[in-house]
Chains A and B, each alone.
Chain A
């Protein structure tokens, strides 16, 4: 059973600070990892993808992956009120059989306080 765990929050961060979002996954065969942002009533929007151990930076966002610890995180620097949303961690596993789709966590609700 593939599982992706996230703290549901809410996580409250002051404007301009760093927001740190965490995710753990159960399947060691997981090979690709994604962070999506979802505003209330909207569909998920891709923020970052990461495939290899280490850090990947894109603007104010940094994704960190540690496959040994089965842990992936997202850092948001200089947090803005527009970053207030639910952040979904998603994992893709290729098990050698058919497609398994993305396995999502329940999401972390992030609130940036002005």
Chain B
């Protein structure tokens, strides 16, 4: 167990809807990263937060947004859902600033299906 939790475990939405996914990092872990993993692919980096500030973003459109809260919880919001957004969404927490290149510990993921 990594101490990272995510909710919900599964979710079904229809195209055009909005969704919020939640993550609770290990206590004391100031960095949270979000990834999207399509079937048969490796995880793709969406963005990262350090102490409630976004400090890096992958190649994802602005309809993917996030928040990090002081209590080590975070959210991933996706607006205007598209069929290709169907994937496993993973959050990962790590202790310090990204420049330390520390290990990221993954939560169990949320599987999103867009119909």
Contact = CB atoms under 8 A, between A and B. Distances in A.
B98 A99 contact: yes
A33 B109 CA distance: 22
A60 B21 CA distance: 36
A43 B40 contact: no
Contact of B55 (A46, A98, A105): A98
Given A31-B101, A32-B101, A42 B108 contact: yes
Interface in A41-55: 42-46, 49, 51
Interface residues of B, number: 31
A45 B104 contact: no
B103 A101 contact: no
B33 interface: yes
A101 B48 contact: yes
Given A43-B109, A46-B105, A98 B56 contact: yes
Interface string A60-95: 000000000000000000000000000010101010
Interface string B95-115: 000110101111111000000
Nearest to B31: A99
A43 B57 CA distance: 21
Nearest to B98: A99
Contact of A100 (B40, B42, B45, B88): B45
Interface of A: 4, 31-32, 34, 36, 42-46, 49, 51, 88, 90, 92, 94, 97-107
Given A31-B101, A99-B33, A99-B50, 8 more contacts: A34-B103, A43-B88, A44-B43, A98-B56, A99-B48, A100-B56, A102-B35, A107-B42
Interface of B: 2, 31, 33, 35, 40-48, 50, 55-58, 88, 90, 92, 98-99, 101, 103-109
Lowest 3 A-B CB distances belong to which pairs?
Answer: A99-B56, A101-B45, A104-B42
